[in-house]
């Protein structure tokens, strides 16, 4: 899934490799997908984009954005973006294929679920996009401890730490994927209730949020996700499906995977006990 670190890396790669390329053709829904969503009518994407050149990129939360004059293409969730040089063999199945005048292509395919939004300035009322664009970024200087505690105090205190951090876009782009290492570095179990946290534990979560996301972003995203060239990110996840078979990198004990709040959580029961301070 595209989350905060990946959106920034994808936007930077598109800026570096596709800037100035002019759209020649756009094909949508070649391989219909039940959980691939579009903003507006995807059949109109070609007419709205053909002849326009990529003039820039942005990243909002977990959404990389491509700017084409007055239009913007926004991608999120499980949408995979792949760049193909002129003449390269393209995948047979995809949900969007953007062909440029020089023969290069950007192909978008959805795994479990994903979205491709075309915004033209008159219909920017899509709530998910607006929230990601306007909320304070977790790595912004505005994301101070005071702001973090204000957010935390503004929710029900029987919320779990996962519910607070990874739902309702309190921090856009902070999803279940990046959450795992954030909480591991804070030695915090994802099921801990906010009302049980000591002040120092809240501070530890805040510091880990900033430091872990900074490391992931600087490394070009996580090794569980791929960039526009199909290469994994440079950040080696400590807790993910890739590491479940290995011992905890701190205590050497076994890791645990559990289904919780709509996704799997990974944790070390010794370093991240459900009841409080690690032993």
Tens-digit pLDDT profile for residues 149-199: 999 999 999 999 999 999 999 999 999 999 999 999 999 999 999 999 999
Beta carbons within 8 Å of 27's beta carbon, 6+ residues apart: 46, 96, 97, 99
The domain of 123 spans 4-134
Q: Are residues 172 and 219 in the same domain?
A: yes
Distance CA 54, CA 32 (A): 26
**CATH number of the domain to which 176 belongs:** 1.10.8.50
Tell me 252's DSSP state: -
Asked whether residue 64 is domain-assigned, the answer is yes
Burial 15-41 (b: 16+ CB within 10 A, else e): beebeebebbebbbeeeebeebbbbee
Asked whether residue 50 is domain-assigned, the answer is yes
Which position has the higher pLDDT, 235 or 39?
235
The whole-model pTM stands at 0.93
pLDDT score at 224: 96
Q: Are residues 157 and 125 in the same domain?
A: no
Category of 261 on φ-ψ map: left (φ > 0), alpha (ψ -120 to 50) or beta: left
Structure tokens at 61: 């939360």
Residues forming a β-bridge with 30 = none
Asked whether residue 238 is domain-assigned, the answer is yes
Asked whether residue 274 is domain-assigned, the answer is no
Beta carbons within 8 Å of 86's beta carbon, 6+ residues apart: 102, 103, 104
Q: Are residues 57 and 89 in the same domain?
A: yes
Nearest to 279 by CA among 253, 257, 258: 253
How many separate domains does the chain show? 2
Asked whether residue 279 is domain-assigned, the answer is no
């Amino acid at each position: 899934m595209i989350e905060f670190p990946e959106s920034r890396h994808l936007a930077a790669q598109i800026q570096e490799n596709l800037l100035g390329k002019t759209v020649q053709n756009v094909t949508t829904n070649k391989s219909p997908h039940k959980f691939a969503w579009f903003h507006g009518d995807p059949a109109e994407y070609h007419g709205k984009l053909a002849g326009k050149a990529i003039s820039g990129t942005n990243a909002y939360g977990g959404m990389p954005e491509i700017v084409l004059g007055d239009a913007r293409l926004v991608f999120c969730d499980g949408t995979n973006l792949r760049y193909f040089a002129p003449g390269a063999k393209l995948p047979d199945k995809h949900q969007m294929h953007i062909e440029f005048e020089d023969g290069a292509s950007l192909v978008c395919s959805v795994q479990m679920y994903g979205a491709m939004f075309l915004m033209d300035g008159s219909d920017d009322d899509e709530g998910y996009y607006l929230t990601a664009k306007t909320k304070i970024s977790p790595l912004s200087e505005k994301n101070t401890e005071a702001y973090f505690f204000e957010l935390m105090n503004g929710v029900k205190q029987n919320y779990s730490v996962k519910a607070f951090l990874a739902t309702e876009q309190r921090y856009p782009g902070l999803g279940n994927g990046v959450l795992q290492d954030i909480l591991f570095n804070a030695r915090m179990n994802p099921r801990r209730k906010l009302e049980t946290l000591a002040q120092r534990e809240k501070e530890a979560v805040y510091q880990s949020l900033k430091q872990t996301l900074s490391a992931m972003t600087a490394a070009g995203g996580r090794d569980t996700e791929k960039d526009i060239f199909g290469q994994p990110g440079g950040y080696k996840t400590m807790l993910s499906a890739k590491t479940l078979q290995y011992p905890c990198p701190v205590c050497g004990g076994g890791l645990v995977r559990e289904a919780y709040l709509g996704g799997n959580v990974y944790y070390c029961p010794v370093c991240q006990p459900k009841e409080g301070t690690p032993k």
